[in-house]
Copies of this chain bind each other. A is one copy, B any other.
């Protein structure tokens, strides 16, 4: 198996956690999205038509979109399951995963922040305020979902799920951008637990071969 990944991409980070939780080994193929490597014709045509990271190659099968990759891994390499089979448990996990992946991350990723700066001429302060605004709105929702539905040590149970695979990179990103997350104690507790878990540890940006400090 091969993973096309960028060390600092939250979406790549999610998949690295999932692969590590399942104990799957893979070749790490760096794609530098800062220099636009994900737009190179060879990559778009042969690896990922979405022109993004991550992309998984499993034999002849090529797949983009981090959440589709985790779902695929769960189908083909089901132990441990990251998306529960029970419809109600599963719904809770997906609800939180989508809150992070659809409502929070897309608005604050590299290409959007660059557009704000390069095309709209946003100042560093305006970019920071933008970033914090969506983090605050999203994390408030995450914390409310956890307050209502959390079970066990992780988001939803005593084992990590897709919800944790999404939440932890998002929190790492927010902390790197110096956001104050003290209003979200449940989320922070899960994040601190993840820091001590081997699968989350090995998936961190600074542990990847393409890491630049």
Contact = CB atoms under 8 A, between A and B. Distances in A.
A49 B148 contact: yes
Contact of A65 (B69, B99, B116): B99
A37 interface: no
A145 B103 contact: no
Nearest to A148: B49
A176 B129 CA distance: 30
Interface residues of A, number: 48
A106 B95 contact: no
A1 interface: no
Interface string A95-131: 1001101110111000010011001101000100110
A64 interface: yes
A67 to B, nearest CB: 5
A72 B91 contact: yes
A30 interface: no
A102 B99 contact: no
B95 A64 contact: yes
A88 B52 CA distance: 20
A76 interface: yes
